């Protein structure tokens, strides 16, 4: 791709790519940053990219840049916004078994049932799916959500012991 074709691609596709990104993240500044990064990627590979395929390259590069930014932000915790007492168990009593049972009682019935079958009874995902008439994927989702809640509720294990 030549410099003229690159400039033409900027003029022709930048608004469409910007709208695509803005629709997904709803933040104008981040969308502009993603567009800038996308065109920077295109410029670095302009010799390799065929002008006939520049539109698809731009949209896929913008999408991947959006995913990368989202993952990066997900890993960064906003410590001002964290409510450490929201789900955690803070009483001085340290009977771990009792704390765990209280946490399990707070789970929704479906999540409680599948996590008990998996972690206490040792059933496989397929066996749990057959018993509960759920899909294997849904069983995995319920177990993931239950474990996540239990981890948040119990908090740090060193505090309990």
pLDDT tens digits, 22-73: 777 878 888 888 888 888 888 888 888 888 888 888 888 888 888 888 888 7
Per-residue pLDDT band for 137 (boundaries 50, 70, 90) equals very high
Report the half-sphere exposure of 52 (CA within 13 A, side-chain side): 0
Residue 91, domain member (yes or no): no
Instruction: Say what the pLDDT of residue 80 is.
Output: 56
Residue 138, domain CATH: 1.10.10.10
- Cα–Cα distance measured from residue 41 to residue 158, given in angstroms and rounded to the nearest whole number: 46
Count of domains for the chain: 2
Per-residue pLDDT band for 16 (boundaries 50, 70, 90) equals confident
- Whether pTM exceeds 0.85: no
Residue 138, domain member (yes or no): yes
- Cα–Cα distance measured from residue 61 to residue 49, given in angstroms and rounded to the nearest whole number: 12
Structural domain that includes position 135: 96-160
- Cα–Cα distance measured from residue 59 to residue 55, given in angstroms and rounded to the nearest whole number: 6
Residue 140, domain member (yes or no): yes
DSSP string covering 70-93: HHHHHHS--TTT--TTSS----S-
Residues 123 and 69 in one domain: no
Per-residue pLDDT band for 91 (boundaries 50, 70, 90) equals low
Q: Closest Cα partner for 25 from 77, 62, 50?
A: 62
Instruction: Say what the pLDDT of residue 49 is.
Output: 82
pLDDT digits (tens, 9 = 90+) for 103-136: 888 888 888 888 888 887 788 899 888 888 889 9
């Amino acid at each position: 791709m030549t410099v003229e074709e690159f400039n033409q691609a900027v003029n022709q596709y930048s608004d469409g790519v910007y709208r695509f990104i803005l629709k997904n993240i709803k933040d104008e500044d981040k969308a502009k940053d993603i567009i800038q990064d996308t065109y920077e990627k295109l410029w670095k590979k302009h010799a390799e990219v065929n002008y006939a395929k520049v539109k698809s390259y731009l949209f896929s590069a913008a999408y991947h840049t959006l995913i990368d930014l989202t993952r990066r932000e997900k890993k960064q915790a906003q410590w001002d916004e964290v409510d450490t007492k929201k789900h955690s168990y803070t009483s001085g009593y340290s009977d771990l078994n009792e704390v765990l049972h209280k946490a399990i009682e707070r789970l929704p019935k479906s999540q409680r049932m599948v996590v008990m079958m998996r972690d206490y009874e040792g059933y496989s995902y397929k066996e749990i799916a057959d018993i509960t008439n759920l899909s294997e994927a849904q069983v995995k989702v319920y177990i993931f959500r239950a474990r996540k809640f239990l981890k948040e509720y119990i908090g740090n294990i060193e505090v309990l012991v």
